[in-house]
Amino acid sequence: MAKYLTNRDENYAQWYNDLVIKADLAEHSAVRGCMVIKPYGYAIWEKIQAQLDKMFKATGHVNAYFPLFIPKSFFSREAEHVEGFAKECAIVTHYRLKNDESGGGVMIDPSAKLEEELIIRPTSETIIWNSYKNWIRSYRDLPLLINQWANVVRWEMRTRLFLRTAEFLWQEGHTAHATREEAVEETEKMINVYADFVENYMALPVVKGYKTESERFAGAVDTLAIEALMQDGKGLQVGTSHFLGQNFARAFDVQFTDRNGKLDYVWATSWGVSTRTIGALIMAHSDNHGLVLPPRLAPLQAVIIPIYKNREQLQLISSVALKIKSGLEEKGISVKYDDRDTNKPGWKFADYELKGVPVRIAVGPRDIENNTLEIFRRDTLEKETIPAAGITDHVKKLLDDIQANIFRKAGLFKNDNTYYLDSWDDFVDITETRGGFIMAHWDGSPETEARIKEETKATIRCIPFDSPEEEGRCIYSGKPSVRRVLFARSY
């Protein structure tokens, strides 16, 4: 079945692309590297947004909005930051067009050149800290806990739908604190919020850890990240939380008077997740039939499909189906009754499987006669006939089961594909063949990290928080090491 989809095991990359297009999540736009997020894909983003927003607010954050444009000069204030983003910035140089007398059409009006060019934000630290300068005077103004939902632009060389696009949607939290300890605590708190979200809503197990110096965010003192394993054995960074120290406060001269009347620079964090999470969601759970969505993020949790031969039968079935529908809706389950006469049931079955709707209920004459329903779960593709009476509770329980099951399945996959290795030959072999997470010793030097990347394309995804102290020798250099770190090829 799913005959229009490339087989996952034959060509994973093509399968992913097909899936995004066929499931109607997004498509390429007229602008290179930019995608159109279609209603079904955007509905998933809205579910993600709604849940994260709730979690941010529960941890004391509020939303605000800062401009899309950043004066060029702001960027040069923080040296590492500009270094990190300079190569992928879109720049506005003019503000007006005029008719092109020679060719027809329009051209840039050379007289409308901006005095100072504007950068389209690749991230908002600079424009936000420029504002924070005016907002913070005293310890009484702190902490400042702000989040913004926005789009950003990073002029990437190679793009892939959801995983890496030139423009993407995300949220970015930017907080300001009176003490180092408090900022560090915030950084950790937010990586935990992300991990909680990804595991309990996206049903995707993650590894939490520190980034190495070379993988750190430009301008950060420390970057914390959550890493997930995709079905092709590659890692994907799903979220990051940065401890920025006093770097941005110094760059934008944001000082405050503390309790003792002493002037000090403010401590900062920033953290974000993007529409990339949708890519993770697709890659982690889906199969050759199409998407598999965790019930908690599925725009549509259940669908009811009538099977009928004539109008009279449809009428009878509809009255039963609509009752089921309102029963489910009362329990907060999102459900659609698809009584379109334009497609046959078989077509609908295949289509809702492609779109990853967790539960499907079919009602036909047979069911009306026997007072039963046919219920199908997307994750295992199992079908059973059940008595119509307890349908609401049954579906509710089934949705919980599905959520738990796909998380469990992803967890098993991650465990089966995590290797504790001590030999370089094994490291190369695993990386080249199956892929997966590799826990190995590393001597701590950026040189070794770079050599490993060069030879195998595997990078240190993170130094896991829970990686115990353990005497060992670096898998590459043989030098002493005190703990294992997580290696993988990544997106």
Partner RNA sequence: CGGGAUGUAGCGCAGCCCGGUUAGCGCAUCUGGUUUGGGACCAGAGGGUCGUCAGUUCGAAUCUGACCAUCCCGACCA
Residues 331-360 that bind RNA (CB under 7 A): 341, 344-347, 349-351, 353-354
CB of 258 to RNA, least distance (A): 32
**How long a stretch of residues is the chain?**
491
Q: Is residue 446 reached through a cis peptide bond, with omega within 30 degrees of 0 on the bond before it?
A: no
Q: Supply the angle between the helices 276-285 and 12-22 in degrees, to the nearest 10.
A: 110
**With binding defined as CB under 7 A, does residue 105 bind RNA?**
no
Nearer to RNA, 111 or 310 (CB): 310
Classify residue 259 as exposed, middle or buried by CB count within 10 Å of its CB (0-12, 13-18, 19+). exposed
**With binding defined as CB under 7 A, does residue 366 bind RNA?**
yes
Nearer to RNA, 346 or 478 (CB): 346
Among residues 160, 189, 336, 483, the one that binds RNA under rule CB under 7 A: 160
Q: Nearest-CA neighbor of 371 among 324, 329, 339?
A: 324
CB of 35 to RNA, least distance (A): 9
CB of 12 to RNA, least distance (A): 9
Site string for RNA, 380-419 (x = CB under 7 A): -x-x------------------------------------
Tokens encoding 175: 């907080």
Among residues 205, 233, 272, 444, the one that binds RNA under rule CB under 7 A: 272
CA angle 9, 11, 15 (to 5 degrees): 90
Q: Nearest-CA neighbor of 377 among 354, 345, 401, 346?
A: 401
**With binding defined as CB under 7 A, does residue 71 bind RNA?**
no
**With binding defined as CB under 7 A, does residue 256 bind RNA?**
no
Residues 437-466 that bind RNA (CB under 7 A): 457
Among residues 186, 222, 367, 379, the one that binds RNA under rule CB under 7 A: 367
61-76 burial: b if 16+ Cβ within 10 Å, else e: beeeebebebebebbe
Among residues 240, 269, 403, 431, the one that binds RNA under rule CB under 7 A: 240
**With binding defined as CB under 7 A, does residue 221 bind RNA?**
no
Residues that bind RNA (CB under 7 A): 1-5, 13, 17, 28, 31-33, 84, 87-88, 154, 156-160, 163-166, 168, 170, 217, 225, 237, 240, 272, 274-276, 289, 307-310, 341, 344-347, 349-351, 353-354, 362-368, 374, 376, 381, 383, 457, 490-491
